[in-house]
Structure 1
Amino acid sequence: MIPIKRGPEIQKMRKAGETAANILNRLADLIAPGVTTGEIDHAASQYMAEAGVKSAFHGYKKFPGYVCISLNEEVVHGIGGPRKIQYGDIVKLDVGVVQDGWIGDTAASIPVGIISPEAEQLLTVSEQSLNIAVSLARAGTHLGDVCASVEEHVSKYGYTVVREFVGHGVGRSLHEEPQIPNFGRRGTGPTLRAGMTLAIEPMVNMGTARVKLLSDKWTVVTQDGRPSAHFEHTVLVTDGDPEVLTWPRKTLLK
Structure 2
Amino acid sequence: MVFKKKRRWHCLSGQPITDMDKQVMYWENKGKLVPTRDLIKTPEQIEGIRRSGVINTEVLDEVAKNIHEGMNTLEIDKICYDYCVSHGGTPACLNYEGYPKSVCTSINEVVCHGIPKEEDVLKEGDIINVDFTTILDGYYADASRMFIIGKTTPEKEQLVRVAKECLEIGAEAAKPYCFVGDIGHAIQKHAEKYHYGVVRDLCGHGVGLKFHEEPEVLHFGHRGTGMLIVPGMVFTIEPMINMGTWQVFIDADDKYGWEVITGDEKPSAQWEHTFLMTEHGVEILSE
Q: Tell me which interval the TM-score lies in, with the shorter structure as reference length.
A: over 0.9
| TM-score, with length taken from structure 1 | 0.95
Q: Which AA in structure 1 matches 2:163?
A: S
Task: Give aligned pairs, total.
Answer: 247
Number of the residue aligned with 1:251: none
Secondary structure of 2:46's counterpart equals: helix
Distance in 2 (CA, whole Å) between partners of 1:218 and 1:47 is: 24
Q: 1:138 offset after TM fit, Å?
A: 2.3
Secondary structure of 1:226's counterpart equals: coil
Number of the residue aligned with 1:243: 283
Number of the residue aligned with 1:178: 215
Distance in 2 (CA, whole Å) between partners of 1:138 and 1:14 is: 20
Choose which of 63, 82, 106 in structure 1 pairs with 2:143. Answer: 106
Secondary structure of 1:242's counterpart equals: strand
Number of the residue aligned with 1:250: none
Choose which of 261, 271, 278 in structure 2 pairs with 1:221. Answer: 261
Distance in 1 (CA, whole Å) between partners of 2:232 and 2:104 is: 28
Distance in 1 (CA, whole Å) between partners of 2:166 and 2:271 is: 9
- Could you report, residue by residue, the CA deviation over 1:160-200 in whole angstroms, capped at 9, with x for unpaired residues? 11111111000111110010111111022222110000111
Q: 1:46 offset after TM fit, Å?
A: 0.8
Q: 1:63 offset after TM fit, Å?
A: 0.3
Secondary structure of 1:177's counterpart equals: strand
Number of the residue aligned with 1:198: 235
Number of the residue aligned with 1:121: 158
Superposed counterparts of 1:125-204, under 5 Å = 125-204=162-241
Q: Which AA in structure 1 matches 2:72?
A: T
Pairwise CA RMSD: 1.0
Number of the residue aligned with 2:48: 12
Distance in 2 (CA, whole Å) between partners of 1:190 and 1:34 is: 44
Q: Which AA in structure 1 matches 2:76?
A: I
Q: 1:114 offset after TM fit, Å?
A: 1.3
Secondary structure of 1:236's counterpart equals: strand
Cα contact 2:143–2:273 (8 A) shared by 1: yes
Cα contact 2:180–2:218 (8 A) shared by 1: no
Number of the residue aligned with 2:8: none
Distance in 1 (CA, whole Å) between partners of 2:79 and 2:227 is: 39
Number of the residue aligned with 1:57: 93
Q: Give the structure with higher Rg (CA).
A: 2
Q: Which AA in structure 2 matches 1:86?
A: K
Q: 1:122 offset after TM fit, Å?
A: 0.5
Q: Which AA in structure 1 matches 2:53?
A: G
Which runs of 4 or more aligned residues in structure 1 lie more than 2 Å from their structure 2 counterparts after TM superposition?
Answer: none
Cα contact 2:85–2:91 (8 A) shared by 1: no
Q: Which AA in structure 1 matches 2:201?
A: E
Q: Which AA in structure 1 matches 2:194?
A: Y
Distance in 1 (CA, whole Å) between partners of 2:105 and 2:222 is: 31
Q: Percent identity?
A: 38
Number of the residue aligned with 1:80: 116
In the alignment, structure 1 segments of 5+ residues that lack a partner are 248-254
1:35 aligns with 2:71: yes
- Could you report, residue by residue, the CA deviation over 1:40-69 in whole angstroms, capped at 9, with x for unpaired residues? 111211111111100111111010010000
